[in-house]
Structure 1
Amino acid sequence: MRYGKLQLGQLSITQPELGVEMVMGQRWGEIKDPVHGYIYVAQIEKDIIDSFPMQRLHRLRQLAGAEYVYPGANHTRFEHSLGTMYLAQRLTMNSNLSQHMTEEEIQLVRLAALLHDVGHGPFSHVFEHLLEKFLDKTHEEITGWIIRKSELHDILENSGYDADTVAKLATGSLHRKGKAFLDQVVQSAIDVDKLDFIVRDTFHTGAEYGNIDIFRIIHMIDVLDENLAVNSGALSALESFMLARIESFRSIYFHRVSRAAQIMLAMAMEKAKDELGLVSFKSPEEYLSLNDYTVWTMLKLCEKSRKIMENLERRKLLKCAYDQTFYVKDKTVAKLFSTKEIRNEMRDKIAELARVEPRFVVIDVPTLPSVPYHHSAIMEPMEIPMFYKGRDGRKVPQRLSEISRIFEALRGFINVVRVYTEEKYREKVGEGATKMLGELPYSARISY
């Protein structure tokens, strides 16, 4: 990324591509982003960007495993964090929001957006599997811990910002009375995090699903009863956004080959976790020492995980023996998505039918913690608050499900069940899974 030094001080800058005037505090410079163009950075943001927790994000890929399908998908959490901060800035420049915010709150939201991913572990969402299974933690909880207990705390406090407030905003847990929308800028059904990763991930993979007018959505967001809501005038852009989420999930985040690599990484880390101390960190510094580079090397050197890592390095991936999308609401399918014990039961039964050991059968569903953006899967889409303005200027609430047939059609859409195994067991496990879970449609038999 290119950094350009600008003079400091109170500056009023007109950014031609925005067509708006930006009044900022102490300016440091600009960073050229391949997705959004020039991102202007204040001195406090520059200080945070230069900190170790932020610089570590250079060594955390956004979509670990996707490179096995999309060679260009090597972008990192660092640039995504910059993009999220930029979109937070654009949103708070929207007068519908800014009139309800103090200057300090506007800057706090930018800082929270910049720091919202500092708690991610190695291989991003793949490490979430270990956090949830063995520590009962999420990366959001780790994010708050890192902001409060690492060098970030001192950087924020020395610049006059309350680190605890930033930590809460970054994880959507500030709950300021009368201003619920502050949490929702970074954590909601249509937040700046999701708006950035949709366009950024499709840009780097080469997929075309992210060609949506995110700035139309940002421009039409307003505050309704202290919550973020979208003017129905942006309905077409919002529907494009929802469709892009669905297509990106199917073709990028839950691609069968990407998931094979992610499952293998999760298995390798679980096998080696005790020997390598992957979940025994006691301080932010110990946790922050873990990144894609260090952990990959550790896993290669560890006897328990070496074979898996060697297979990954030779692209000898697990094979998908069964792949079924369920378009109907089914109690058994619902249990598969939500209950680990039920999945394990079915795994054991499939293994028995295939006459293989259970360890050679893996059931994969979109709600697992290791699935990128599994909270964003539109299996049961969150209702996005909508409104229209009457002739008197009053905001009249609407339900998205009542004004968008597309939204209704997407409900329950990503009900996918996959079964993975080693190549030599693929046929047997596929037959066993079919007996247990039902016949595959023709399209699912095509291997790619």
Structure 2
Amino acid sequence: MNITEYSKDVSIKRTVDQGTSEQRKAVEGIISRVRREKDTALAELTEQFDGARLDTLKVSQSEMDAAYKNVDDETLAILREAKENITRFHGRQQRQSWMTTEEDGTILGQKITPLDAVGVYVPGGRASYPSTILMNVLPAQVAGVERIVMVSPPQADGTLNDVVLVTACELGVKEIYKVGGAQAVAALAYGTETIAPVDKIVGPGNIYVALAKQLVYGTVDIDMFAGPSEIVVLADSTARPDYIAADMLSQAEHDPMASAVLVTPDLTLAEQVAKEVYEQLETLPKKDIAEASIRDYGAIYVTRDMNEALDAVNELAPEHLEVQTESPFELLGAIRHAGAIFVGENSSEPVGDYFAGPNHVLPTNGTARFSSPLNVDDFTKKSSILFYSKTSAQRHGAKIAAFARLEGLEAHARAVEKRLEEKEHDNENE
């Protein structure tokens, strides 16, 4: 892990895999096939890519009931408490419709409406990602979305992971389909005989899933084009090197392309963290993945002072930012760009991944400069409400018509002036 002296001339950005032309072409072919062949394509592609031959795509109630027998009470209790925390946090994000009335009778407002249907993609196969379900389903439910559809690639025996099924059941998700990959995204966007289309698709996946979401955007909405996970730790001499190293590795084990970065004005701390990282790597079950991540995308930047360290953090605009300094809350005002900010040495990144409440679906690759974590607003839409009384139409009509003619739109002007003609007509009759 290289220790680099930070300066404005040092490039600390990284490029994100946008997929190859061959991958994009393959995804386009899958989407086209699902649109033509619908359920037939889903069944054949599931057998081709997942090795599972399915009699039915939809998870049955008996499969859900059976999953509970294989999940212990302690796991259930943890899932239920996490659900409560996440629901409570997102409940504070709810917005209300509003209207205001002016003296001349003008009424203006905004109507908040939940989306009708949302599709949640949950990575599957041998892996279990109950946190993905919690973080994507719960804010949609808080927003008031009535139909939530979950898709996940099956295991070779045609089943879904027990914990995944139980988590979905705990949240009341009824529509669960055993299909993954680009074909699942296409089914959610365009519909098949079994799966009705949705309005928005959320949830993580591999490059084929990400490309599919990009390609169907416009037909449906999507959450984001997410890159590999990343963490930046901002620390001073008071921080513990072993904590920092452990937190950097917690992201490195996600993916060989995950990024783990330390920014600090303290060279001694930088050297201690580098040593700790390699020592802790030796006992990690996913050592090969984490080692590749640290080698290719890990970095330690040493700055002149804390102000320069803050500049570096804002330039990186990280997905996860940990602040492990003597007075971390004093630095919050200077942090402009980060998906989630973990304050203090006890607020390790996994706290946010699973349990605390804030959403773990975060902007990556510097997009925190202009975007936010997944939240309740992402599952609603806003409609403007406009009411002009006769008084307000006559009071402002000439100005609006003049504005329209500034843009050369005569029909716009005349549409307003039609209402003014009525005023003249009324005056003539008096």
TM-score (norm 2): 0.25
TM-score (norm 1): 0.24
Q: Which has the higher helix share?
A: 1
Is the radius of gyration larger for structure 1 or structure 2?
A: 2
